[in-house]
Chains A and B, each alone.
Chain A
Amino acid sequence: MVFFMYDVIIIGAGVIGGSIFRELTKYDLSILVLDKENDVAMGATKANSAIIHAGFDPAPGSFMAKYNVSGNKMYKNSCAELDVPYENNEALVIAFNTKDIKTLENLYKNGKKNGVVGLEILGKDKTLQLEPNLSTSIIASLRAKTSSIVCPFQYTIALFENGIANGGELLLNSEVTKIEKYKETFLVYTGFGKVFQTKFLVNAAGIYADKIHNMVLQKSFSISPRLGEYIIFNKSQGSLFSRTIFQCPTLRGKGVLVSKTVHGNLFIGPDAEDVVDKDDVSTKNSGLTHIFRAAKNTSNKIDFNETLKNYAGIRAIPSTGDFIIKNYTKLKNFIDVAGIKSPGLACAPAIAEDVVLILKESGLTLNKKSNFNPIRKRINFLELSNKEKHNLVKNNKAFGKIICSCEKITEGEILDAIDRSFSVPTICGIKRRCRAGMGKCQGSYCTPQIIDIISRRCNLDKREICFDSADSTILLEKIR
């Protein structure tokens, strides 16, 4: 048996694991992240509302309220450091009747208690002035100026790329099967028979955080899956609203939203359905119909012939009602970061800072690295100036060849996505990194070419190339 010794092992490579990982790489430590999937951000991080919520929604005093408001403030800076698309586009919660207005007033008060700034209640005229494509049946809105949008999986990929550049390690395709306590440390067993030893263990395993917890401690909470469906639209619909539009929240969630994305598409969702299977992200007719109807109430201007894709995400709902972020008196070096449901994305950077504090209090020695580099860069051909584009092609011809003609993604960007620090050369892995295949034809045109590029760059037979998760091969047989 091979033992590798680490200061900290984090289980789970979602936005929470990634945020903690990058935060820890600021210190002189050996850190490892383990994830069962073949890429980061494969759970709730991949399919959620992509909103950095303002923080008017969570109950005052909860972890959710605390981390939301502080996390929201941290995104602008971290997205700038990590070169991730982010926009402080504001949000409106819209009211259709007097009951909704009561809800807006409560949200406003709640937000004030949580320390949210930039909240105001607007009348009908002012609301429609800000968002003229809203339904004229609305009568008021709550404006939240700090609400923002981000690309959650690109953000998470960037967190890991930056953490790895600063000395951290990531091991994918490594499902944790067993954890043993050994003296003051843990032995973490993965599916491939590898064992890793660590002084501190952070459980950021998302929907499976209860399973990981139970490998170490007595069962004290459970995480249940709640499905949320979304429909994404062509960019032709992306300029209908500049703000994220929420309907009033219900007991089951924040209400169906209509928002543009940082890439200029429009999307609607989610609904909320408690399900049994933690891995099943199939969309359901009932859910899709529900969000369609709800979005039609928000606006009748949305062209429903312009849909590109429907998909669903699983949210990790904790039995305790709030995030579970703590270590245990009899086991100080094990930290649960579990049940991170909405607004978990907004909370992630603030949670990461606190987890580092908990680790420190539990005895982890933190010495700041002098050479920590917070900057991570990516190449986006279309965003460059004409001169920069020209120079890029002159230096590397691959940037002169457009492969995805909908999104204008070059071969250079696809090769860059393959060559990055942790390479996930699948169709979806590349799509998440550089958006090839995310346009109006959804890869109908460029998928064969991307298979060809991966095959050449990674020296793989085309039959070995996967669509997304491990073993999801695309081409079954060679005929010539």
Chain B
Amino acid sequence: MNTDLLIIGAGAGGISSAYAATEHGVKNVVILEKGESFGGILNQCIHSGFGSIIFKEDLTGPEYASHLFNMLNFSYTKIFFYTTVLDIDFKNRSVYAVNTKFGTFRISFKALVIATGCYELPLGNLIIPGSRPAGIMSAGAAQKIVNRYGYLPGKSVAIFGSNIVGLTVARRLAQEGAKVLCVVEPFPYCRGPLRDEYLCRTDYTIPIFYSKNISRIIGKKRIKGIEVSETASGSKKFNYIELDTLLYAIDLVPENSLFCCNDSLKLDHLTNGPIVDQYMQTSIPGIYACGNNVYIHNIVDFVTKDALKLGYSVAKFIKKFPHSFLENGKIVYLKPGDNIKFIVPQRLTINQDSDKLIEIFVKVKKPLGKVVFSFEFSDKKIVKKIRTNVVPSNIEKFTLLIKDFENTDSDNLCVSLSECL
């Protein structure tokens, strides 16, 4: 089997990419999806709050997915469900996959979009002493069980970690009648969107304990309680909280297992995703990535926006294939300074074809008041931008002018951050 464009994953990133590519004239797209349906994680996000940027509507997760799906051009797009990619052969441009219909099979591509999303870090990523009983699961698993299966994992629940999944599931369980006792967050600030934090505190009166840690898990068959230490590290003083369920929402990590062992596809160790340029193209020509496997987005609309950026580039690549593997032009690398967690894209390709405006996404390491972001080459300052109340959960977007990248000999654009006092 072969195709012009192969997309791994039919979540928001995958479907949006298929749409973007066909809009730019790609006529042969195959999407491989490991699950039973399109939409990925959107299917278990039955709350609203999706689509205000892309569709100018307030949608639920499944509605957002359906809106995207209905935009697909099915004359040019095929989707295979229950199909898992086992291996990508970057050199020969093919993937090895399995599904119930074809057994194992190979499918060659001209261009590839990796849109495999992210996974939840396990509780064991943190070293918490105690027992390992029933009643402990990831917030994402609990969300699926409540929203898709209609069961409640517990009645007296604590959430460990204040990321977006944790805060969403905290409210969802409270709606379904569970007593959500608290959210325990080791960091001194909220790691999820401030709006979710606000709703937890005000509408559901769920306390969020910052700079606290779980120092012990207690219970033999099922969890009975946790000890919450007074400080994030090593305090002997603790409060005992009796409960029947602990959900962990520690962190989401880009699902990179299909390419992390490949030397030619460069990973960014700050995001754990691949290094991409402004067209979401990775370090291998014609291999693109978008969505949560590039970095963890807090709004699904931005996943779709990522994908819209790759349509033009993918179409051009396929048209010229197998010639012209590399875009000509200058390559600029973005270098993060202090207090910056990551920058995406990590690499820019500058030539006459480049869009006049380039969007840069920056995540800060900790909440800061009023700050100045400076974008500068060693020999040339481009621009300074002032932002107030920056937080890690809200990824800052900057729009730079491509013409500012001219007249410099440097390949490294440093992005630095300084606090205004």
Residues of chain A whose beta carbon lies under 8 Å from any beta carbon of chain B: 231-232, 236, 279-285, 287-288, 292, 305-311, 382, 386, 389-394, 397-398, 400-402, 405-406, 408, 410, 440-445, 447-448, 451-452, 462-463, 466-480
Contacts and interface: CB of A to CB of B under 8 A. Distances in A.
Interface of B: 34, 82, 84, 86, 96, 98-101, 103-105, 119-135, 137-138, 140-141, 144-146, 148-155, 176-177, 215-218, 220-222, 244-245, 255, 257, 260
A444 B120 contact: yes
Nearest to A305: B125
Contacts of A390: 103-105
B9 to A, nearest CB: 11
Given A400-B101, A400-B103, A477 B151 contact: yes
A468 B176 CA distance: 26
Q: What does DSSP make chain B's interface, helix, strand, loop or mixed?
A: mixed
A463 B135 CA distance: 12
Nearest to B261: A236
B155 A477 contact: yes
A292 B126 CA distance: 13
B119 A473 contact: no
21 contacts: A280-B131, A281-B132, A292-B127, A307-B126, A308-B122, A390-B105, A393-B98, A393-B103, A406-B119, A406-B257, A441-B119, A441-B138, A442-B124, A447-B137, A448-B141, A448-B148, A462-B149, A467-B134, A474-B137, A474-B153, A475-B149
B248 to A, nearest CB: 8
Question: Which of B124, B255, B260 gathers most chain A CB within 10 Å?
Answer: B124
Given A281-B132, A282-B218, A448-B149, 13 more contacts: A282-B217, A309-B122, A382-B86, A401-B99, A405-B255, A440-B119, A442-B122, A443-B138, A467-B135, A467-B222, A470-B221, A475-B151, A475-B153
A447 B82 contact: no
Contact of B104 (A279, A389, A447, A451): A389
Question: Which of B100, B128, B144 gathers most chain A CB within 10 Å?
Answer: B100
Contacts of A279: 220
B370 to A, nearest CB: 32
Nearest to A452: B149
A408 B129 contact: no
B133 A445 contact: no
A440 B120 CA distance: 9
B104 A444 contact: no
Given A305-B125, A440-B122, A444-B120, A473 B222 contact: yes
A479 B103 contact: no
Nearest to A463: B151
Contacts of B260: 236
A444 B119 contact: yes
Contacts of A287: 129
Given A400-B82, A442-B122, A281 B131 contact: yes
Given A405-B84, A445-B120, A283 B129 contact: yes
A475 B133 CA distance: 13
Contacts of A386: 96, 104
Contacts of A393: 98-100, 103-104
Nearest to A471: B221
B49 to A, nearest CB: 22
Nearest to A284: B129
A18 to B, nearest CB: 23
Closest 8 CB pairs of A and B: A480-B150, A467-B134, A442-B122, A309-B124, A444-B138, A400-B100, A402-B84, A393-B103
Contacts of A443: 122, 137-138, 141
B361 to A, nearest CB: 23
A467 to B, nearest CB: 3
A310 B134 contact: no
A402 B153 CA distance: 24
A473 B134 contact: yes
A307 B149 CA distance: 30
B132 A444 contact: no
Contacts of B245: 476
A55 B393 CA distance: 54
A468 B125 CA distance: 21
Contacts of B149: 448, 451-452, 462, 475
B127 A476 contact: no
B120 A402 contact: no
Question: Which of A391, A462, A472 gathers most chain B CB within 10 Å?
Answer: A472
A408 B86 contact: yes
A476 B153 contact: yes
Contacts of A311: 132
Given A279-B220, A408-B86, A394 B152 contact: no
Contacts of B127: 231, 288, 292, 307, 310
A470 B177 CA distance: 27
Nearest to A277: B220
Question: Which of A308, A470, A475 gathers most chain B CB within 10 Å?
Answer: A475
Contacts of A283: 129-131
Contacts of A470: 221
A287 B127 CA distance: 11
Nearest to B139: A444
B119 A445 contact: yes
Contacts of A308: 122, 124-125
A283 B126 CA distance: 13
Given A282-B129, A393-B98, A474 B119 contact: no
Nearest to B130: A282
Contacts of A463: 151
Contacts of B86: 382, 408
Contacts of B148: 448
A26 to B, nearest CB: 37
Nearest to B248: A444
Contacts of A391: 103
A479 B146 contact: yes
B100 A479 contact: no
A269 to B, nearest CB: 12
A479 B137 CA distance: 18
B232 to A, nearest CB: 14
A456 to B, nearest CB: 12
Contacts of B96: 386
